[in-house]
Structure 1
């Protein structure tokens, strides 16, 4: 998976080989990166210094296969700052925020939301390239993926941007974010709209630890909106009090893994209110046939949906500039993998 944080140094990408050669080369690079992760775990006991030296990480390898820009669509102003600056202002135990730092490699990103009052959000992230083998072990144990730990993905940024620019739909609503990662979209809804309650969820307990901290350090930004985090596994039976209790469900980049399609559709059907005004808002790229397969599963579960390609003029114009090459800040931009489409899902007829 691609890794990175907003405002990382940009890098020039020269023209590469033919697509067939590039695909084979990219696959080799991915296996090489995986091997390094495994070698690092056992290097001290089973490999010679020469072998471990040979497999030291080369960041250029990750750059070559990355489709992620250094700043995504750059729709929300943000600045990456050392974690020490956050702990100085929020780390005092008297305000209950003494456990902000989850990992010594953490950084924090300060976002300025593009809405009335320009509220600011401080989010703690793992620093770039800090995913470790024990993270993969945890994902296997809980049957979840690790993408939420990698970074804030472009779809999440666009989801946050879209929600604060359509704040009226959230007024007094109970909102759930699924597969939230570090929680940017859910936190943006809590800070930039008049939602009644926002629940930010993920299936990975490590990720939910970060969500909990990010809620804690932004409490003063939420006004009267209630905000909480929770571990939510899509394939488990949900608590009775949650059934049909949410007015709006939002999610980004949650449809890539086809093995989760059925459980994701079921959790939407189970938790979304059965009313004409209730809806789920999903954002995610096509990624081959994964999105279309998800829409098929949605319909098989008795839900209705619509797919919208052009849902925001600013996002659409940026997309066209990336595709045409007029904007070269995203040199490996591919619309199938990078441009999020919007899916609206309803429990009642459209």
Structure 2
């Protein structure tokens, strides 16, 4: 039998990447069609959601806080950080087309591993945010990382943002539920679309830190994300981004970012996350794809 040629290997990889991309969009399609992403759903069985967490947080559903529309509340705690204990409202998997069209919002469908790892990273490094102003970009339905900063640090201000109004409204509900846990930190949420700079000029040079998770996927917004970070950060501000490699998407973002920032890329940023990653490569290879599941850490400084 002949060995596969380079072109065959390249074509097979391209086909696999296309299938994974289609599976991600099927999750959104199911949401628009008001289908539930259950274990029996064939889309779920083959989609990237077959791996959904590194197990850094523990969750406990709060049935007594059920809301209209099938939304559910869950208590989030972390075995490694006793200070975090927050209630998060997860929206149902059913959305109208109007709730998803206009500005992509995969974060309204589910919580992705990059947000989980970013939140964990922020808790471990809470001292960095003392008396600082922080903004989370593209935080989806939970903005879990930004909320972790608000609870675990003595930040002066935390602003949680997303480009989708449904997501922002959900985050406001979460903030109201957890308001007693923020201490003296000023915490708010607002809609912020990276391609509409005129709508956030009031935030020019306002933040010491910008954080973001898994927001590099879409070609049309990658350069806008760099522009937005550039607008929001102070002269000596720092942006911390977690995202999977996902083909060339991370590299393309870094290429844009290097035009304005010093860019550092770190694959082994936390021993516990790295250990879990290595375990999944061995034990969970049927579910886990490093290219789309393992968050890489990107740091932007001026």
TM-score > 0.5, shorter chain as reference: yes
The answer for unaligned runs of 5 or more in structure 2 is 1-11
The answer to whether the aligner puts 1:175 opposite 2:140 as a matched pair is: no
Offset at residue 223 of structure 1 (A): 1.1
Specify the alignment match of 2:294 in structure 1. 339
Q: Deviations over 1:193-214 (max 9, x none)?
A: 1111100000100000100000
Structure 2 matches for 1:25-64, cutoff 5 A?
Answer: 59-64=40-45
Structure 2 counterpart of 1:151, from 110, 114, 122: 110
The answer to whether the aligner puts 1:225 opposite 2:206 as a matched pair is: no
Counterparts of 1:255 and 1:25, CA distance in 2: 19
Instruction: Say which structure is richer in strand.
Output: 2
Q: Deviations over 1:231-275 (max 9, x none)?
A: 111111244431011000000001111110111000000110012
| RMSD of Structure 2 on Structure 1 (CA) | 2.8
User: What number of residue pairs does the alignment pair up?
Assistant: 287
Structure 2 matches for 1:206-285, cutoff 5 A?
Answer: 206-237=166-197, 238-275=199-236, 278-285=237-244
Structure 2 matches for 1:295-334, cutoff 5 A?
Answer: 295-300=254-259, 302-325=260-283, 328=284, 331-334=286-289
Counterparts of 1:59 and 1:30, CA distance in 2: 17
Q: TM-score, normalised by structure 2?
A: 0.85
Counterparts of 2:191 and 2:87, CA distance in 1: 21
Offset at residue 69 of structure 1 (A): 4.3
Q: Deviations over 1:169-215 (max 9, x none)?
A: 11111000000011111111100111111000001000001000000
Offset at residue 79 of structure 1 (A): 1.5
Q: TM-score, normalised by structure 1?
A: 0.74
Is the alpha carbon distance of 1:262 and 1:137 closer, same or farther for their aligned partners in structure 2, counting shifts above 3 Å?
same
- Indicate the SS of the match to 1:131: coil
- Indicate the SS of the match to 1:110: strand
Larger Rg belongs to:
1
